[in-house]
Amino acid sequence: MTDLTWMDACAQAELVRSGQASPAELIDAAVDRIERVNPGLNAVIHPRFDKARSEAAGPLPDGPFRGVPLLVKDLGCQTDGDPYHCGTKFLKELGWTADHDTAFVGRFRQAGFVVVGRTNVPEFGTAITTEPASHGPARNPWNPDHSTGGSSGGTGAAVASGMTPVAHGNDGGGSIRIPASECGVVGLKPTRARVSQSPDVGEAWMGGTIDGVLTRTVRDTAAALDCIAGAEPGDPYPAPPLPRPLLQEVGADPGHLRVGILDHPLLPGVSADMDSATAVATAARLLENLGHKVEVSHPVALQEPEFQLHFGNIVMVAMAADLDSWSRRVGRDVTDDDIEAGNAALAAVGRSISAPAYLASVEWMHGYQRRMARWWAEDGFDVLVSPVLNGSPPPLGWLTDPEQGMTRVLEMMQYTAQFNITGQPAVSLPLHWTASGLPMGVQFTAAFGREDLLIRLAAQLEQAKPWAGRHPQVHA
């Protein structure tokens, strides 16, 4: 059988459809890759190999990805009967397992995917580096001494190193796009409510959290999102419908777009990382060569410093509520001794925020969404291009330093969380590598509901500047 390591999910599915490979062969090959590569990366923390082999040997739904291996993130994604630890030591010590599938897991399964394992995450997904005390750090396959990003860091490392062609991730402040950027893969954060979080969550972080995938090709991203998108009964609100399946947008002409360029940090006193600025400048030249109108412009609202305060209030209150929820589920109080110090501090502040103060932050954010939307709706821009992060993948431990870590996080995290609150789709594309060989994604953000436009543009950029042939230092 053809080597599957760098074959994308669409191509692997075609092998099964044409009879050139069986689902069992695809799963065996993925298990072999994970067993060989994962010890050096710690990306997969809960192997599911025996179950996956059994499922591949039995009847599978005749979906578009029949027999294709899939990894899922150990946060916000439950798979019935499997460990579910959310990066925490107390759930690990309890041996906590899920008792149902999250709704989009059911959609993955109906598409024919076979879940082969669960990936490493920072505790409760509140960090932009995957270094949990419970399971140890995930390592970047381009340089194992460096971070994978977070919170879908295990997922990013797994896809980049060739373990599986596609893997689940989710994003509440950049957690798909940041690992995609730092691991050199494709990561699209869908529009708010595009993928239902049923039955466990209606909305979280004021609707800022959303699920999706990390992949190595644009067509895999489009086709996988086609499989999991859609509302479930009882969802609080739906996303606007797409005009057609996203896979049909791959190769479609995006037209001549009006593109705004943002290449510098938004907070005063924060210095611009030169590699980040270079990545955006290179993308801007490429867009001009493709016939798009490129201008130095961005929504003025991005510069409002109050955003950080109100986003922090929303996250901290949510952290306190999450701990209360887990206390009820496990039948005892989850205390500060059960969790990492950073999350204990977040929860403590969250509990001090009054209900009126929290609602004031929500109200401020609603106004912020409208101020942001004007740039697309009234100023006439199609896409905003920016860095994903103000900096390249840092060394492990750099962002978790007890004294300097939070300052470093705020300096790096300049461009992503705003679009969780506005609900807009945004994608990180692997268009730049540093002189030392570390990847740095470029972010493309469209108006609310316009994943179709992002997929068209991303596919055009993928063809103009292919990245599929670049493989990391550690790979299968």
pLDDT tens-digit readout, 28-87: 999 999 999 999 999 999 999 999 999 999 999 999 999 999 999 999 999 999 999 999
Tell me how far apart the alpha carbons of residues 176 and 272 are, in angstroms, rounded to a whole number: 22
CA distance 152 to 154: 6
Position 371 pLDDT exceeds 90: yes
| pLDDT interval class at 373 (50, 70, 90) | very high
Residue % of the chain over a pLDDT of 90: 99
Q: What is the three-class DSSP state of 176? A: coil
Residue 444 has pLDDT above 90, yes or no: yes
Q: What is the pLDDT of residue 267?
A: 87
pLDDT tens-digit series, residues 116-173: 999 999 999 999 999 999 999 999 999 999 999 999 999 999 999 999 999 999 999 9
**Helix/strand/coil for 357:** helix
Separation of alpha carbons 180 and 388, rounded Å: 9
Q: Which of 73, 276, 386, 392 is catalytic?
A: 73
| Per-residue pLDDT band at 246 (split at 50, 70, 90) | very high
Catalytic residue among 161, 175, 196, 361: 175
Check pLDDT > 80 for residue 176. yes
Q: What is the mean pLDDT of residues 208-217?
A: 98
Exposure string of 203-226, with b = 16+ CB inside 10 Å and e = fewer, is ebbbbbbbbbbbbbbbbbbbbbbb
Q: Is the pLDDT of residue 16 over 90?
A: yes
Mean pLDDT of 439-449: 98
Q: Is residue 189 flagged as an active site residue? A: no
User: How far is Cα 389 from Cα 47, in angstroms, rounded to an integer?
Assistant: 31
286-301: per-residue pLDDT in tens? 999 999 999 999 999 9
Q: How far is CA 25 from CA 12, 35, 68, 269, in A?
A: 10, 15, 10, 54
Measured distance CA(216)–CA(5) in Å, rounded: 11
pLDDT computed for residue 45 by the predictor:
98
For 252-284, what is each residue's pLDDT tens digit?
A: 999 999 999 999 999 889 999 999 999 999 999
pLDDT at 476 (0 to 100): 94
CA distance 360 to 368: 12
Task: Give the span between the Cα atoms of 38 and 409, in whole angstroms.
Answer: 27
pTM above 0.85, yes or no: yes
Q: State the DSSP code for 83.
A: B
pLDDT of residue 2: 83
What pLDDT is stored for residue 351 in this prediction? 98
The answer to whether residue 217 scores a pLDDT higher than 90 is yes
pLDDT over threshold 80, residue 1 = no
SS3 433: strand
CA 5 to chain centre: 22
For the beta carbon of residue 173, count every other beta carbon within 10 angstroms: 25
Between vectors from CA 265 to CA 263 and to CA 268, what angle results, nearest 5°? 145
Which tokens is 410 given?
């705020």
Residue 325 catalytic? no
- Percent of the chain at pLDDT exceeding 70: 100
From the candidates 134, 151, 161, 392, give the one annotated as an active-site residue.
151
Q: Tokens representing 400? A: 């978790």
Q: Does pLDDT of 312 surpass 80?
A: yes
Q: For position 232, what pLDDT does the model report?
A: 98
- Closest to 181 (Cα-Cα) out of 275, 104, 75, 305: 275
Element (H, E) at 114: strand 114-119
Q: How far apart are CA 308 and CA 314, in angstroms?
A: 10
- Residue 51 bears catalytic tag: no
CATH ID of 9-464, from 3.40.640.10, 1.10.10.10, 3.90.1300.10, 3.20.20.150: 3.90.1300.10
Residue with tokens 């409208």: 370
Q: What is the DSSP string of 38-49?
A: HHHH--EEEE-H
